[in-house]
């Protein structure tokens, strides 16, 4: 059973079944992603430690953006995601900036934004009339042509994306100072 919280901070209904399972899995993946940043400075959160351009703060920024955009897709459809075929070099540069800590950004600020997006997602899971509501996927080379995703499928994708990046974050953190999320 999962107790959800509304955006104004009040307790909502206690969820059971599929919605509780989705929220529990998402909370677990989020926990491990955030846990990789424990006791880090802003500079450490922005440091690359592997051959990849990824850093811990950037991964959290990316997961925040992904979750925010997919929730907008659930609510608004493909127009919320934009047209990937029409992205300019500036658009791609902004997308690249999701994966790194920019000057003036703090780990606390990145984590706070992630927590706010998570609260909105959790409320949506608790209050969406049907997880079967679906939309056509936006046009992008990585989506199947003519595909449609239900809210359920989108939420499963958010869980998978968060868990995948929590694994990346664990490797980055271990490379940074030897700390591990587990073991």
C-alpha angle 167/170/173, rounded to 5°?
150
Helix (H, G, I), strand (E, B) or coil at 85: helix
Residue 7, pLDDT score: 41
Q: Work out the pLDDT band at 85, boundaries 50, 70, 90.
A: confident
Q: Is the pLDDT of residue 144 over 50?
A: yes
Residues sharing a CB contact under 8 Å with residue 153, sequence separation 6 or more, in sequence order: 134
Q: Is the pLDDT of residue 83 over 80?
A: no
Q: Work out the pLDDT band at 38, boundaries 50, 70, 90.
A: very high
Retrieve residue 70's tokens.
């997919």
Residue 1, pLDDT score: 53
Helix (H, G, I), strand (E, B) or coil at 43: helix
Average pLDDT over the chain, rounded to whole?
90
Retrieve residue 42's tokens.
């802003």
Q: Work out the pLDDT band at 111, boundaries 50, 70, 90.
A: very high
DSSP H helices in the chain: 17-35, 42-45, 56-76, 89-97, 107-127, 151-177
């Amino acid at each position: 059973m999962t107790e959800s919280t509304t955006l104004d901070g009040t307790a909502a209904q206690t969820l059971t079944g599929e919605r509780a399972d989705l929220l529990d899995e998402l909370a677990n993946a989020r926990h491990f992603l955030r846990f990789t940043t424990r006791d880090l400075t802003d500079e450490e959160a922005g440091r690359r430690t592997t051959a990849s351009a990824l850093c811990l703060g950037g991964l959290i920024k990316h997961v925040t953006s992904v979750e925010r955009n997919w929730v907008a897709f659930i609510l608004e459809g493909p127009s919320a995601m934009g047209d990937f075929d029409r992205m300019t070099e500036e658009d791609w540069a902004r997308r690249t900036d999701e994966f790194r800590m920019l000057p003036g950004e703090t780990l606390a600020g990145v984590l706070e934004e992630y927590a706010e997006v998570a609260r909105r997602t959790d409320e949506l899971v608790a209050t969406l009339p049907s997880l079967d509501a679906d939309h056509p996927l936006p046009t992008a080379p990585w989506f199947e042509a003519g595909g449609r995703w239900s809210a359920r499928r989108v939420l499963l994708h958010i869980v998978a994306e968060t868990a995948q990046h929590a694994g990346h974050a664990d490797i980055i953190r271990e490379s940074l100072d030897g700390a591990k999320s587990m073991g």
